[in-house]
Amino acid sequence: SQQGEEDPQALSIQEGENATMNCSYKTSINNLQWYRQNSGRGLVHLILIRSNEREKHSGRLRVTLDTSKKSSSLLITASRAADTASYFCATDGSFKTIFGAGTRLFVKA
């Protein structure tokens, strides 16, 4: 079974709004990563947060990690139409990366 579960499954917002996606996982981790996938393409790595970190920023992205709740969130601020994609969290376990179910984000221009 997949390690990470994300919600919402789908999110539709207006350009300029913020988008928040959540990820929950089941077992202990060393780090958690977020990836983006445009339709029909491979995944692009966005950000990695280690288990001893609580928050990390990269441009318009903000990731939080709560290891006590086994959850993480990805916030995209000031969204753009080009942010339309699927976003996946991924955790390391048993020497392999396991992906969550993903959130499909649609940003309306």
Partner 1 sequence: GAVVSQHPSWVICKSGTSVKIECRSLDFQATTMFWYRQFPKQSLMLMATSNEGSKATYEQGVEKDKFLINHASLTLSTLTVTSAHPEDSSFYICSAVAGGFASPLHFGNGTRLTVT
For binding to partner 1 (CB under 8 A), which residues are involved?
2, 30-31, 33, 35, 40-45, 48, 88, 90, 92, 95-102, 104
Shortest distance (Å) from residue 50 CB to partner 1 = 9
Shortest Cβ 16–partner 1 spacing (Å): 26
- In terms of CB distance, is 31 or 73 closer to partner 1? 31
Q: Closer to partner 1 at the Cβ: 45 or 57?
A: 45
Write out the two tokens for 109.
Answer: 């221009």
Dist. CA 90–CA 32, nearest whole Å: 6
